[in-house]
Each structure stands twice: as C-alpha cells, then as structure tokens.
With several copies, the nearest count.
Chain A
Amino acid sequence: MIKKPRMVQISEIVQESKDVKTFTFNIKSILSNYSIQYQDPTPGEFLMVWVPGIDEIPMSLSGFNNNKDWSITVKEVGECTEMLFNLEKSDLVGIRGPFGNGFQIPEFNFNNQLNIVVGGGIGMAPLIPLISELIKLKIKIIVIEGVKSKEEIIFKKYLKNYLIENETFYISTDDGSYGYKGFATDLFNSIIEKEIEKGNKINQVYSCGPEQMMYELFHICEKFNISFQGSLERMMRCGFGMCGLCVLDPSGIRVCREGPILDSKILRTCTDFGKYNRDFSGKKNTI
C-alpha cells in the first residue's frame, strides 16, 4: 500500500464523455523508488488522489492490470476534479492507497447463478474491474448502466466487447434518449421479475451510484431476498480509518475501511443509508 502520497506521471487520458475522463498511470516507479510492497488491488478499492495546492479526494480504481497500470475515472463536479481535468499526459498527480475493502467476489459460479451489476453514472467506475473479474471467473452477469441522458453513457464500447447489448448489458436513460427510458431501478426491477419468471436465481447484486438509487435497489433486493453489495460515498479525510468522518450510525462502520463496499447485512442496520451524510466539518446533512 502507498501510505505517503507519491507523485506519478499520467500515461494516458481518455475522454469517456463530456464530463468524464479516465486517467491511467503506471505505479512501478513508485514501488521501486520507495521500495513499497505491492499487492494486487481488489475491485472496489479506492485511492486518495492529490492535486497539489488544491485538494486530495477519494477515487475508485476503474482499472488495473498485470503491468501495474492503474486508472481512475473522474467526473468533473467541483474544484479538485476540475483541476484534474486540466492535467495532461505526463503531468504528475499524487496518489496513496488503495484503501477500503473491495467487493466480495464468489470464488466460483456454483449452480450457474446470476449476478447483476447496476451502475449509476460515474458509479460505473469501480464496477468495471469488478465486471472484468466476474467475466474472468465465468460468472453469469447482467450489467445495467443508468444515466440521465445519452451523452452521459460511459464504457459502452468496453462493455460491448464482453457483453451483448439488451441481453446481458442494458442502458437506461432518464430521458429515453438511449436504451430503456426511465430509472435504472425500474429497469432492474423488471429484469429481476423476468429472470425469476424464467426460473433463474439471482444470488448477488453489485452496485455503485447515487445513494438514492442504491437505497432503492437495496430495498428491491430485500423484497426478493437477494444479497446486495453497494459502494457508498462519504466525505473522507484520512481514507484509512482514523479521523472518523466517514463513520455510519449506529454500527460505527467506517466507509473508508470496513467499506466502501457494504453488504445487505450491514445496510439493514444502517440508519444513515439513503438518509444523511456528513460534510467536511462532521455536520450531518440529509441526502
């Protein structure tokens, strides 16, 4: 794990959509310069990304490979992400991590069960390495990407390499400009009902996206008795369990450490989920 922020050169920038870019960097130089022990990341883990002079913010790993190229996929939403967007190939960015627990991935696909992956907008980012892993493990999956409008679709080309659109890969747009018209939650609900009708058992739903979306997905899963894993976002200072800013009530679960991936068992106890979070001062705000 990289504990002190270390600068790394951006090797590639891909514009995924108008306000989403993927930044790739190779961490070999960090590992060798500072003799850091390397462990493969797990899908769902995140980095703290430092833009010197601006801020340091959490970003999920949207990719990593054997060559130790890591990537993050960033949506421009404020000051720090804007500064990230100004960076060019060869520019430096600081990283530490990876932090967090990552998704729990089944070791094999017993009984040919079906897993469903639902991403909302930029929430697709941590799901990409998860989907790659599930495909590698030959686990049957359906992927749903929900966005507001056609222009916001990301990773479509990548996903279509592995999945067949409208069979194992669905897109929903709120405005109907592409694919299913409506919320990803509705699409999800109808897919589930269809699969159950077909006699298929869904044994796991993975999700990342707006908390309201995940909140609804979770409750649909509860209704159908399906295990759920969602990647939560909370304000983060330390990223490794010290400051307490990202803690959930009443369990004390730290989103940065015991999370960010939380499963049904934990979410059932959680009074914050879908309700409130905290700002950088620690003050509670309703979501």
Chain B
Amino acid sequence: MSEFFKKIAEKPFILASGILGVSYSSMKRIFEGGAGAVVTKSIGPILRKGYKNPSIIEILPGTFINSVGLANPGIDNFISEIKELKQNNITTIVSVFGDSIETYTQVAVKAQDAGADAIELNISCPHAEISIICQNKQLTYEYVVAVKKELKIPLIVKLSPNVTDIGEIALSAEKAGADAITAINTVNAMVIDIETQRPILSHGSGGLSGKAIHPIAVKKMFDLYKIVRIPIFGCGGVFTGEDAIEFFLAGASAVQIGSALYQDYNAITNIINSAKKYLEVHNYKSFSDIVGNAHKFETQEAPDF
C-alpha cells in the first residue's frame, strides 16, 4: 500500500471537495479536527468566478443545493495554497478539472509538482460542462488514462450519481488506471421561487448535497463495492457517526465529508469520535474491519408470490 493510502487507512475521513477548500487555513482546521486528508476545491487551468449568487442554498434541514460553477483562482494562483498545506504537513488531495484532456493533465501535473499527495479528478460536477465526461464510459477512460500517465502520485476519480449505471463508469476508470473512486458528487436538482417564478440559483439548476442524498450515495457505494476492486471513498450526506458507519458497511474504504462542515469547526471531530465509539462498543480495532460487512447478509432478491 502506498504512503498515501496508508495515511487514509489510518484516518479514513476526508474533507470533500468544494467545502471550505479555498484556502489552506480552513483545510488546516479540518485536518486538525481529525481528517486523514483534505480535498481542495476543484482547481482548473485559469481563474474562474463561477456562477453568480444565489449559488448555495439550504433547502431542507441539512440539505443544500449549489451551483458554484467551479469557481476557482486557477492552478497558478492556487500553487501557494498547496505549498502552505504541505508546509503544514497536511495530506493534500488536489481536485482537478479542465476543458480538455490537455488542460486536465496540465493542472494535475502542476498540482503534483507543487506537492499534492494525490489528485482527485472531478469529471462529475452536475452544473458544469465537464459532467459529460462521467456520463460516458469511453470519455472517462480516455481522460483517466491520459492524466494517470503523467502522475507519480495516486489518482482518484470522482463519479456522479446522475447516470444510469455508475458501475460501468467506475469499471472504466479502474481499467484506465484509477487508484481509487470517490462516489458521489451532487445530484441534479432545481428549486423555484414561486413568488418570482424563477429558479433560485442564478444558473437555474444545481447539485443536491447533504442529508437528502445520503441514502442515494449509500446505494451507489453498495453497488460499486460489488464491481470494482480499487478503494472507494464514500461521499454524500455524512452528518453523524452513524452515516459514516453506513458507508463503511456498504463498502467504503474512507468517507468524505462535505456539507455537514458548514456547522461549527468541531463538527468533523464529533462525527469521527462518534464513528470511533461505534468501533469500540462493537469491539472492532479499525474501520477496515467493517468495510463491506453489509454484503454478508442475504436480502430478498425475488419478491414473494
């Protein structure tokens, strides 16, 4: 197991991309709160302001919709942030996107050169052009192969739930050399203000995150665990230790936490402590002891007649 995956195995809780991932200082807080690694905001080849506000809204308790639109300062402006992260000994996954195979690769390589411990390929943002990649197994294969070729560090591929068969996309990424999968990115959604009759988000639609998508993400994890052999990072609606444990039981090697972190900075520590408490109470030594345990049971495959 590479150095990177060893670190993740020790502390299988990771900050998800796009939440508190603009500057090293918030990522440092999350890391110090107990995360094994942080994923930065998705970084592209050039500065991008993204969509106007409203772009992030809480629509149900603990459920959010966003269309940030991949706002980011561009990789060249972000290098200093990566260096600060590494100076603070923070295990850093840089989330990367581009507008072509070339720019994806360029950004990934620049991030690697700046000291990133791993790259997460964002091919799945539902409210941006790039979502087309993760909807197509061939495109996924091509992008992953190309980026992987230039990397010495591990490559994680982040997938979307907005597809008919996430399994075939994951297999494609695995075949192309991905070292791990993150599932899931946000779920396509829209909220309309009935007074003005217009969609609330400036972009119109956006991605659903938080509590509402947790059972959707757990199902994807359960399905993926049967199909791919590389580690899968579970992502979507982890707010409690219980939510995290569900992911491990469904097959996650690690859990990413995003939306929940809008709360106090100690939210991540509370989640981790509660998940650790579960191990203790149930006499497990580590999270790896429970990975995939939900697959041990027979479920009723055919209905009763």
Q: Which residues of A contact B (CB under 8 A)?
A: 3-7, 48, 50, 52-57, 92, 94, 96, 237-238, 240-245, 247-252, 254, 257, 278-284
Question: Judging by beta carbons under 8 Å apart, are A92 and B57 in contact?
Answer: no
Query: What's the nearest-Cβ distance from chain A to residue B190, in Å?
Result: 13
Query: What's the nearest-Cβ distance from chain B to residue A17, in Å?
Result: 26
| Sample of 8 A–B contacts (CB below 8 Å) | A4-B59, A7-B196, A237-B68, A241-B262, A245-B22, A251-B29, A282-B72, A283-B73
* Cα A176 to Cα B4 with chains together (Å): 63
- Chain A proximity mask over B3-30: 1 for CB below 8 Å, otherwise 0: 0000000000000001111111111110
The residue that A280 contacts in the complex, of B28, B71, B262, with Cβ under 8 A, is B71
Closest B residue, CB atoms, query A247:
B26
Question: Judging by beta carbons under 8 Å apart, are B52 and A55 in contact?
Answer: yes
Q: A7-B196, A92-B196, A282-B71 are in contact. List 11 more A-B contacts (CB 8 A).
A: A3-B58, A48-B53, A52-B198, A56-B52, A94-B193, A242-B20, A244-B21, A252-B29, A278-B23, A282-B22, A282-B72
The residue that B262 contacts in the complex, of A54, A96, A240, with Cβ under 8 A, is A240
Query: What's the nearest-Cβ distance from chain A to residue B294, in Å?
Result: 12
Stretch of B42-50, B159-167, B178-186 at the chain-chain interface: B42-50
Majority secondary structure, B binding face: loop
- Chain A proximity mask over B117-142: 1 for CB below 8 Å, otherwise 0: 00000000000000000000000000
Q: Does B191 contact A (CB under 8 A)?
A: yes
Query: What's the nearest-Cβ distance from chain A to residue B247, in Å?
Result: 17
Closest B residue, CB atoms, query A49:
B53
Query: What's the nearest-Cβ distance from chain B to residue A192, in Å?
Result: 32
Query: What's the nearest-Cβ distance from chain B to residue A8, in Å?
Result: 9
Closest A residue, CB atoms, query B59:
A4
Question: Judging by beta carbons under 8 Å apart, are A242 and B261 in contact?
Answer: yes
Question: Judging by beta carbons under 8 Å apart, are A252 and B26 in contact?
Answer: yes
With contacts A53-B297, A252-B28 known, is A247 near B22, CB below 8 A? yes
Residues of A within 8 A of B52 (CB): 54-56
Residues of A within 8 A of B189 (CB): none
Residues of B within 8 A of A279 (CB): 49
* Cα A257 to Cα B64 with chains together (Å): 17
Residues of A within 8 A of B20 (CB): 241-244, 247, 252, 254
Q: Which residues of B contact A (CB under 8 A)?
A: 18-29, 41, 47-50, 52-59, 64, 68, 71-74, 77-78, 191, 193, 195-196, 198, 200, 202, 259, 261-263, 265, 297-298, 304
In this complex, the member of A247, A248, A251, A280 whose beta carbon has the largest number of chain B beta carbons within 10 angstroms is A280
Residues of B within 8 A of A96 (CB): 57
The residue that A249 contacts in the complex, of B19, B25, B54, B55, with Cβ under 8 A, is B25
Closest B residue, CB atoms, query A9:
B195
Question: Judging by beta carbons under 8 Å apart, are B50 and A281 in contact?
Answer: yes
* Cα A245 to Cα B49 with chains together (Å): 11
Question: Judging by beta carbons under 8 Å apart, are B304 and A280 in contact?
Answer: yes
Residues of B within 8 A of A248 (CB): 25
Question: Judging by beta carbons under 8 Å apart, are A282 and B54 in contact?
Answer: no
* Cα A211 to Cα B241 with chains together (Å): 41
Residues of B within 8 A of A244 (CB): 19-23, 26, 41
Closest A residue, CB atoms, query B65:
A4
Question: Judging by beta carbons under 8 Å apart, are A240 and B58 in contact?
Answer: yes
* Cα A235 to Cα B35 with chains together (Å): 27
Query: What's the nearest-Cβ distance from chain A to residue B95, in Å?
Result: 13
Question: Judging by beta carbons under 8 Å apart, are A52 and B23 in contact?
Answer: no
Query: What's the nearest-Cβ distance from chain A to residue B199, in Å?
Result: 10
Closest A residue, CB atoms, query B43:
A282
* Cα A3 to Cα B53 with chains together (Å): 14
With contacts A3-B58, A56-B53, A280-B49 known, is A254 near B195, CB below 8 A? no
Question: Judging by beta carbons under 8 Å apart, are B68 and A281 in contact?
Answer: no
Residues of B within 8 A of A254 (CB): 20, 26
Residues of A within 8 A of B77 (CB): 283-284
Question: Judging by beta carbons under 8 Å apart, are B200 and A5 in contact?
Answer: yes
Residues of B within 8 A of A247 (CB): 20, 22-23, 25-26
Question: Judging by beta carbons under 8 Å apart, are A281 and B58 in contact?
Answer: no
Question: Judging by beta carbons under 8 Å apart, are A242 and B64 in contact?
Answer: yes
Nearest first, the 8 A-B pairs at minimum CB distance are A56-B53, A283-B73, A252-B29, A244-B20, A242-B262, A7-B195, A238-B56, A3-B58
* Cα A22 to Cα B245 with chains together (Å): 33
Question: Judging by beta carbons under 8 Å apart, are A5 and B193 in contact?
Answer: yes
